[in-house]
């Protein structure tokens, strides 16, 4: 007979405000199998945890129930506590009497107290039948795959390689450098992106730990955290690699300007997008850095920049702010003025979003030093008239409709995920948002992890980002990879499915229903086997198995029936 200790938490007033914890503690004291029962103000605090450790030692407990908040909150905490006291951590369970009881029954203390007691009793039944379990050991290949050789991918690659681990860098294009290689210069200081990149590219390509595969794409992905099997198609041939972690850094492209019919992009040569203007400004571009009207090669005397050209436009499906356009437009207008000092630059904007160190000062410099004229309003229409591009807009500050007969119009179209990102996400089993950007595991606290273990995100594949942010994310993703690689061994939660070989008929239904591809029919024995490191313990196979051969560790039918027995 197991000797279970019950620890009932007040959670300050969170639980004690609706549940009479002393009564609950007293009631549990006489419950079968309970050897010890006590309440405490905050069981998760250090003295609270000490209470558990002392009770295990002094009363020889071999099972622990902590009645407190949701197990999502502190199950790990309390399992670590009992492990420190020498007890197998899987003999500790959390009974949720806060989210599922006190918080929702503040108006009925009597019944809330009864319900809390019953919840705890069910968990006592579970613990009485829990088996001690050991974490499953997993193999760990200390080599990373980086998908995308733009600035985010290069940063991640150089950081991981600098720590001495192998990196496979897969790039779809002829060379690395990504979008940054197409830009003329950076904002704030007009640094040449080519120079900035050269250093970064050399750090990566010269590092013996890095293998750069260009004109290559990920074809297939198998395996799991620590032991992925990747098939890469390179220049027509398939190559297989084993890696332990993956960083996705597939970047962005621009929203197609031909979809903005009212602005005439792609229809009129003198309406171009931001990246085309970058190429025009770049010394390595088609005009050798000279700003010229594409129609006839004249130097434009009046240039109109249209911000939010397609973005912040839910009707068009792009409700989001593309984030970097305010800054690069300010930079482009200033670079234009440096080259054509007698010219006039107009920028139509809705808001000027200059959110970064030195960014606001930069846009103000554009206005004051370069006399860029900002006009507050979204452009409605661009059309040719008398050899110029007529821009119809508004200046809501003066309350006037305005028009400019421009020589050149530059559209700041929004960043969208790069082509093929969605298909890649499917191969990697990583979620994307409604715009096709890769989804992070948590918007605040886990920005560079995907929800798929071992797959990390960096750069504009996750959302619009500028260079410093992409670099920061590349380094952050690398840090995640390195903290994985520096572990001696990695383990997997042992709450996984098991198959009773006596009962299994090999029907294969469990293989069909498993969402994690953790099941297969063994080729020789013809019965189902569980690939434990892939199993997430969801229980789909238990429900599907007609023979009840599938079971989940520490969620056995005996346990579940005993738990129900405690209630009825």
Partner 1 sequence: MRVRLSIRETRGEFVKRVEEISGQEILACNQCGKCSAGCPAAMAMDLLPSQVLRLVQLGLEEALTSETIWLCASCLTCLSRCPKGVDLPRIMEALRQLVLRKEGDRLELSALPADFLSEAPQLAIIAGSRKYLS
Binding stretches for partner 1 (CB under 8 A): 301-302, 343-344, 346, 364, 367-368, 371-373, 375-376, 392, 395, 397-405
What contacts 24+ positions apart, CB below 8 Å, involve 509-514? 509/544, 509/545, 509/546, 510/540, 510/541, 510/544, 510/545, 510/550, 512/544, 513/540, 513/541, 513/543, 513/544, 514/540, 514/541
Query: Among residues 98 and 388, whose Cβ is nearest to partner 1?
Result: 388
Give the integer Cα–Cα distance in Å for 250 and 264: 29
Per-residue tokens: 454: 């071992």
CB contact set of 558 (below 8 Å; sequence gap of 6+): 129
Three-state DSSP class for residue 328: helix
Of 217, 182, 219, the closest CA to residue 197 belongs to 182
Closer CB to partner 1, residue 80 or residue 400? Answer: 400
Residue recorded with tokens 């960083």 = 247
> Considering only CA atoms, which of 442, 115, 413, 423 is closest in space to residue 274?
413
CA distance 79 to 77: 6
* CB nearer to partner 1: pick between 211 and 301: 301
Residue 205 CA to residue 209 CA, distance in Å, equals 9
31 or 392: CB nearest partner 1: 392
Which of residues 31 and 383 has its CB atom nearest to partner 1 in the complex?
383
Closest CA to 154 of 86, 191, 200, 110: 200
Distance of alpha carbon 406 from alpha carbon 300, whole angstroms: 8
Element containing residue 9 per DSSP (H, E): strand 4-9
Q: In angstroms, what is the minimal distance from the CB of 363 to partner 1?
A: 9
Distances, alpha carbon 339 to alpha carbons 159, 180, 345, 410, 426, in Å: 38, 22, 12, 16, 46
Closest contact distance (angstroms) between CB of 177 and partner 1 is: 36
- Return d(Cα 543, Cα 224) in angstroms, integer: 25
Q: Quick one: tokens of 116?
A: 């809390």
Instruction: Identify which of residues 59 and 371 has a Cβ nearer to partner 1 in the complex.
Output: 371
- Minimum CB distance to partner 1, residue 391 (Å): 9
Residue 519, CB half-sphere, CA atoms under 13 Å: how many? 29
Nearer Cβ to partner 1 (70/385): 385
| Smallest gap from residue 393 Cβ to partner 1 (A) | 9
- Shortest distance (Å) from residue 347 CB to partner 1: 12
| Residue 273, CB-side half-sphere exposure with 13 Å CA sphere | 19
- The H-or-E segment that residue 217 falls in is strand 216-224
Minimum Å gap between C-beta 328 and partner 1 is 19
Phi and psi, residue 108, nearest 5°: -145, 80
> From the CB of 187, what's the least distance to partner 1, in Å?
18
Which of residues 53 and 370 has its CB atom nearest to partner 1 in the complex? Answer: 370
User: Residue 303 or 411: which CB sits closer to partner 1?
Assistant: 303
Please report the sign of the dihedral spanned by the C-alpha atoms of residue 155, residue 473, residue 144, residue 481: positive
| Closest separation in Å from C-beta 368 to partner 1 | 5
Q: How far is the CB of 231 from partner 1 (least distance, A)?
A: 54
Query: Is the CB of 66 or the CB of 304 nearer to partner 1?
Result: 304
Q: Closer CB to partner 1, residue 102 or residue 363? A: 363
Which residue number, 195 or 368, has a Cβ lying nearer to partner 1? 368
The least CB distance from residue 332 to partner 1, in Å, is: 18
Beta bridge partners of 36: 5
CB 480 within 8 A of CB 472: no
What is the nearest approach in angstroms of partner 1 to the Cβ of residue 367? Answer: 5
44 DSSP assignment: T
Closest distance between partner 1 and the C-beta of residue 138, in Å? 57
Closer of 271 and 404 to partner 1 (Cβ): 404
By C-beta, is 301 or 536 nearer to partner 1? 301
151 near 474, Cβ under 8 Å? Answer: yes
Least distance from C-beta 379 to partner 1, angstroms?
Answer: 12
User: Smallest distance, Å, CB 359 to partner 1?
Assistant: 14
Phi-psi region at 429: left, alpha or beta (left = phi > 0; alpha = psi -120 to 50): left
């Amino acid at each position: 007979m197991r000797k279970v200790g019950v620890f009932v938490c007040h959670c300050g007033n969170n639980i004690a405000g609706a549940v009479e914890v002393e009564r609950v503690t007293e009631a549990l004291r006489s419950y079968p199998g309970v050897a010890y029962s006590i309440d405490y103000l905050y069981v998760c605090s250090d003295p609270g945890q000490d209470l558990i450790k002392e009770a295990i030692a002094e009363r020889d407990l071999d099972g622990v129930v902590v009645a407190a908040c949701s197990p999502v909150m502190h199950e790990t905490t309390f399992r670590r506590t009992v492990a420190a006291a020498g007890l197998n951590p899987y003999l500790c369970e959390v009974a949720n009497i806060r989210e599922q009881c006190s918080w929702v029954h503040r108006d009925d203390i009597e019944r809330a107290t009864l319900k809390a007691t019953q919840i705890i009793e069910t968990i006592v039944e579970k613990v009485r039948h829990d088996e001690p379990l050991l974490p499953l050991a997993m193999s760990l290949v200390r080599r990373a795959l980086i998908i995308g050789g733009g600035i985010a991918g290069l940063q991640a690659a150089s950081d991981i390689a600098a720590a001495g681990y192998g990196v496979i860098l897969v790039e779809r294009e002829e060379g690395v450098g990504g979008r940054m290689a197409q830009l003329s210069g950076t904002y704030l200081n007009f640094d040449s992106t080519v120079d900035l990149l050269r250093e970064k590219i050399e750090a990566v390509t010269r590092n013996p730990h890095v293998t750069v595969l260009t004109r290559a794409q990920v074809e297939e992905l198998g395996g799991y955290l620590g032991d992925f099997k990747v098939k890469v198609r390179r220049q027509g041939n398939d190559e297989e690699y084993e890696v332990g972690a993956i960083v996705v850094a597939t970047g962005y492209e621009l929203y197609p300007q031909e979809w903005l019919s009212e602005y005439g992009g792609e229809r009129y040569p003198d309406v171009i997008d931001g990246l085309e203007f970058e190429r025009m400004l770049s010394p390595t571009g088609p005009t050798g850095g000279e700003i010229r009207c594409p129609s006839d090669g004249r130097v434009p005397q009046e240039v109109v920049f249209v911000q939010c050209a397609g973005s912040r436009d839910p009707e068009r499906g792009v409700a989001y702010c593309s984030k970097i356009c305010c800054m690069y437009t300010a930079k482009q207008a200033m670079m234009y003025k440096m080259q054509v000092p007698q010219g006039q630059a107009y920028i139509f904007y809705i808001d000027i979003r200059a959110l970064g160190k030195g960014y606001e000062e930069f846009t103000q410099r554009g206005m004051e030093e370069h006399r860029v004229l900002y006009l507050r309003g979204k452009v409605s229409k661009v059309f040719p008239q008398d050899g110029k591009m007529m821009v119809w807009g508004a200046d809501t500050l003066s309350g006037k409709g305005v028009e400019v007969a421009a020589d050149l119009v530059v559209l700041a179209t929004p960043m969208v995920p790069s082509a093929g990102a969605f298909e890649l996400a499917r191969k990697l089993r990583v979620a994307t948002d409604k715009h096709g950007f890769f989804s992070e595991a948590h918007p605040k606290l886990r920005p560079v992890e995907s929800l798929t273990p071992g797959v990390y995100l960096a750069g504009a594949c996750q959302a619009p980002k500028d260079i410093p942010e992409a670099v920061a994310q590349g380094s952050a993703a690398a840090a995640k990879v390195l903290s994985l690689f520096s572990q001696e061994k990695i383990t997997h939660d042992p709450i996984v499915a098991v198959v009773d070989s006596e009962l299994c008929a090999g029907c294969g239904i469990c293989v069909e229903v498993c969402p994690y591809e953790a099941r297969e029919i063994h080729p020789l024995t013809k019965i189902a086997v569980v690939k434990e490191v892939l199993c997430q313990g969801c229980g789909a196979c238990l429900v599907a198995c007609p023979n009840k051969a599938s079971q989940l560790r520490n969620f056995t039918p005996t346990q579940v029936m005993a738990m129900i027995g405690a209630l009825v």
